[in-house]
Amino acid sequence: MKLIFCPHCQDLIKMRLRKRFCACRKTWGRYEKDGLYAKIGGEAIAIGIYNGAFTNAVATRPPSGVGPEFHGFVFPEKSERVQRVGSK
């Protein structure tokens, strides 16, 4: 799963096939039709979450206390899977 983070308003938004903006509209992101590659714009920072780890964490969450951790990562500034459109 890919998310975009806006350093201005600190929104964290899940990417979809249609272009989605953060609350302040300074960043945006969207998946390509293949659902694997994505484009981002503005000062968006792309974040990835390992789907299997997230699904497992949701499935094993306890009724109270701290839930299980799951793995995520920040995409590098230049990535094969996430292309920045326009200048940063």
Q: Is the pLDDT of residue 88 over 70?
A: no
* Number of domains present in the structure of the chain: 1
- pTM of the full predicted structure? 0.86
Encode pLDDT of 70-82 as tens digits: 999 999 999 999 9
Encode pLDDT of 7-63 as tens digits: 999 999 999 999 999 999 999 999 999 989 999 999 999 999 998 899 999 999 999
3-state secondary structure the chain: CEEEECCCCCCEEECCCCCEECCCCCEEEEECCCCCCEEEEECCEEEEECHHHHHHHHHCCCCCCCCCCCCEEECCCCCCCEEEECCC
User: Which range of residues forms the domain containing residue 67?
Assistant: 2-85
Q: Is the pLDDT of residue 86 over 70?
A: yes
**Closest of 4, 6, 7, 24 to residue 15, by C-alpha:** 4
